[in-house]
Structure 1
Amino acid sequence: MTLRLDALRHWIAAQHRLPQEACQLTTVAGDASLRGYCRVTFPDGTTRVVMDAPPALEDSQPFVTIGREWHAAGLPVPKIHAVDLSWGFIELDDLGNDSLHHHFDIESGAREGTSQALALLDKIERLAPVASLPSYAADFLEEEMDRFPDWGLTRWLGIETPPQWPEVKRHLLAHIARLPTVAVHRDFDAMNLMIHRDRLWIIDFQGALAGPLGYDLISLLRGRYHHWSRQEMDLWIEDFRQRCLAAGRIGPDLDAETFRAGVEAIGAQRQLKILGQFCRLCLRDGKPRYLDWLPHFYGHLDEGLEALPALGDFHRWLRESYRPAMEARLVEQRTTSDAGNPP
């Protein structure tokens, strides 16, 4: 790490024709990936952020390509000032530390923030180029769902996959296929929306794909930082449908019930992926803190499946088998962790 920080300091100083000691580096909190971030303060007090993505571990070309395309399209993404993909260094605008999720701790903040985020989502769907993005194809959606039985059931819980699993995937994919294709961020979460200069800015867009309308909507509504009631969810989803209808992104054939089922199917796909992926982050990447989110996203999945009654058998299996096993395993994990870290 010290070697990379030294290399990063040398690189950013060279970009600005400054001595290395004139560039002050401060580590910025990272994310679930293998990327790291540093804030650089220059002698005149201005700052930039440098992404550190070791090329052997992270392919940064999609970030650069999408970032430049979205910036050129007029979307609020950090400007890319310099790139060295051989090292995995990218110099970006500094958007500060105030992400939208900090404002979700009270109801009024969550409501206002969600409204602002959905207005931004309208802009993404209107302006973001689609043709240059890879397709969020059905086989990729299925592979993501299979992380649930692979990592969440077999490897972490040690329980068998329910026999309904193939039908669950087919049912969800059939609903998702009815939705039109747009540019989707794929992690349109309140943590990935920064408040800077009194507007929202988009970060972590490197995973964007050409995928189903509604994916980013459900990512926001069933995210990490707020829980909406069933009635509130239905209102948000229907309001979004009406906006898409008015903008011509969908036709009248996508009625309220069909659209809601499609959006909740996307949500179920995403939540199943997360339940498996967070176990993978623990087991493969040594990041056990993500396990603490499992009950939260299970709750989202449980509520979303209420809109998909054809998956009733699977829904009951989740309540009667998965949830108790998951909760017991979390208790065991915490007990083991506490025993290894006595006060």
Structure 2
Amino acid sequence: MSDREALRLDFLKAAGLDDAVRLALPGDASTRRYERLTPATGPTLMLMDQAPAAESPPCDPSWSPDQRRAAGWNAVARLSAGRIEAFAAVAAHLKALGLSAPDLPALDAANGLAVLEDFGDDLFARVIADGADETPLYLAAIEALATLHDAGDPPAVLNGPGGDWPMLTYDETALQGGADLFVDWLPKLDDRVSFDDDAVADWREAWAPIVASGARGASVMAHRDYHAENLIWLPERQGAARVGMIDFQDAVRAHPSWDLHSLLQDARRDVSPALEAQALDRYFALRPGVDRAAFMADYAGLAALNQARIIGIFARLIARDGKPRYARFLPRMWRHLNANLEQPALAPVARWFDRHVPAEVRA
């Protein structure tokens, strides 16, 4: 028996769940693992297991950009390193707003273990694939985002059952660091491209106005991974609470467009232009004080940046981590990116792509 398994068994025994049947669930792109727990009595539960030592350290709020870059990727991008206390603190904040995040009946933050309420298997993506009308689900997801955004600037520190957690900003260092994954990793996947120092300098210059605008507009909590495979349909609940949220431990203060384009320009499934337009109309109807034109300019720019970031992440997962299944998502991400690059404000970025990334790569 591994030391980690011994920790899990001790934790489950202390939680009164040592008799539960354990079923491991498929993994994702992270270092977390999940099990569904079926106790002798009572509802099923989830075991979240995130060993603190499995990741580089999260960002200290006091660190400079240089210190963050020296500490590793989690610090650059202001990621939580999967820490259980981050998940617990964000969950408490979401629940205080009337949104649906899992209860945590048992928690051992120091060892990276938690028992979660089980929201079931009705992921938006799965329910839609089984024939449900996607429109009500997406509009409910928009209602949940509007609720989160209407709450305004989140506290600087979130209080949760696992301890306090800083609500960091998705700032220039994090935004540009994310975009740079593209130039760092695409050449390692595709030998038709290479980027010398001048190309990388031009890349950063082209993105600079978008990065600055995204950091300047950071004013709400962003889930950071808000899409149809991280949202669970809970139709027995009311209003925005029908949207069960998971995988939100990397939440930050960010531009309110971030979760919108993550949802509506999804890496994993097609969302029609008509549904995207309907969902955006619903968002602005719920938030009538928002300047739609200015918002949508940022939406296109930050969506394009995010798509470049995700292409870089997928290239890394394939080339470094040996996970070829992520290749099937690349054509969709290129389609989203190419469409956003048609916006006039993105002309400098579009010119960079025309110079450095052949059209056949962007297909």
TM above 0.5, yes or no, is: yes
Alpha carbons of 1:60 and 1:37: their partners in 2 closer, same or farther (altered >3 Å)? Answer: same
- Does the aligned pair in 2 maintain the 1:152–1:279 contact within 8 Å? yes
Opposite residue 155 of structure 2, the aligned amino acid is A
- SS at 1:194's partner residue? strand
Following TM superposition, by how much is the alpha carbon of 1:235 offset from its aligned partner in structure 2, in angstroms? 4.8
Opposite residue 257 of structure 1, the aligned amino acid is A
- Of 93-102 and 22-31, more deviation after overlay is shown by 22-31
Following TM superposition, by how much is the alpha carbon of 1:320 offset from its aligned partner in structure 2, in angstroms? 8.5
- 1:180-229 Cα offsets, whole Å, 9 max, x none, are 51111111101111123532211011011011011111111001222322
Alignment partner, residue 4 of structure 1? 4
Q: How many residues align?
A: 315
Question: Which aligned pairs between 1:299-338 and structure 2 lie closer than 5 A?
Answer: 299-308=335-344, 310-311=346-347, 314=350, 317=353, 321-325=357-361
Alignment partner, residue 89 of structure 1? 113
- SS at 2:111's partner residue? coil
What is the distance in 2 between the residues matched to 1:258 and 1:128?
18
- Of 3-12 and 91-100, more deviation after overlay is shown by 3-12
- Of 102-111 and 197-206, more deviation after overlay is shown by 102-111
Alpha carbons of 1:12 and 1:319: their partners in 2 closer, same or farther (altered >3 Å)? Answer: farther
Alignment partner, residue 225 of structure 1? 269
Alpha carbons of 1:108 and 1:301: their partners in 2 closer, same or farther (altered >3 Å)? Answer: farther
- SS at 1:306's partner residue? coil
- Does the aligned pair in 1 maintain the 2:218–2:253 contact within 8 Å? no
Pick one of 287, 290, 309 that aligns with 1:273.
309
Alignment partner, residue 202 of structure 1? 245
What is the distance in 1 between the residues matched to 2:98 and 2:349?
46
- Structure 1 position 135 matched with structure 2 position 169: yes
Opposite residue 49 of structure 1, the aligned amino acid is M
- Of 284-293 and 89-98, more deviation after overlay is shown by 284-293
Question: Which aligned pairs between 1:29-40 and structure 2 lie closer than 5 A?
Answer: 29-40=26-37
Pick one of 214, 219, 222 that aligns with 1:181.
219
Q: Percent identity?
A: 27
Alignment partner, residue 203 of structure 2? 165
Opposite residue 302 of structure 1, the aligned amino acid is N
- Does the aligned pair in 2 maintain the 1:13–1:23 contact within 8 Å? no
Opposite residue 97 of structure 1, the aligned amino acid is D
What is the distance in 2 between the residues matched to 1:88 and 1:292?
32
Following TM superposition, by how much is the alpha carbon of 1:152 offset from its aligned partner in structure 2, in angstroms? 1.7
Following TM superposition, by how much is the alpha carbon of 1:289 offset from its aligned partner in structure 2, in angstroms? 1.4
Opposite residue 172 of structure 1, the aligned amino acid is I
Point out where structure 1 has 5 or more consecutive residues left out of the alignment: 328-343
Alignment partner, residue 123 of structure 2? 99
- Structure 1 position 121 matched with structure 2 position 121: no
Opposite residue 186 of structure 2, the aligned amino acid is G
Opposite residue 298 of structure 1, the aligned amino acid is W
- SS at 1:34's partner residue? coil
Point out where structure 2 has 5 or more consecutive residues left out of the alignment: 55-81, 157-166, 237-241
- SS at 2:254's partner residue? strand
Opposite residue 300 of structure 1, the aligned amino acid is H
- SS at 2:168's partner residue? coil
Pick one of 238, 243, 257 that aligns with 2:293.
257
Alignment partner, residue 185 of structure 2? 151
- SS at 2:105's partner residue? strand
What is the distance in 1 between the residues matched to 2:324 and 2:306?
20
What is the distance in 2 between the residues matched to 1:14 and 1:242?
48
Normalised by the length of structure 1, the TM-score is 0.82
Pick one of 24, 27, 34 that aligns with 1:27.
24
- SS at 1:26's partner residue? strand
Opposite residue 190 of structure 1, the aligned amino acid is A
Alignment partner, residue 285 of structure 1? 321
Following TM superposition, by how much is the alpha carbon of 1:144 offset from its aligned partner in structure 2, in angstroms? 0.4
Following TM superposition, by how much is the alpha carbon of 1:30 offset from its aligned partner in structure 2, in angstroms? 2.6
Alpha carbons of 1:6 and 1:323: their partners in 2 closer, same or farther (altered >3 Å)? Answer: farther
- 1:81-102 Cα offsets, whole Å, 9 max, x none, are 1111332111100111110112
Following TM superposition, by how much is the alpha carbon of 1:293 offset from its aligned partner in structure 2, in angstroms? 0.8
Opposite residue 151 of structure 1, the aligned amino acid is W
- SS at 1:191's partner residue? coil
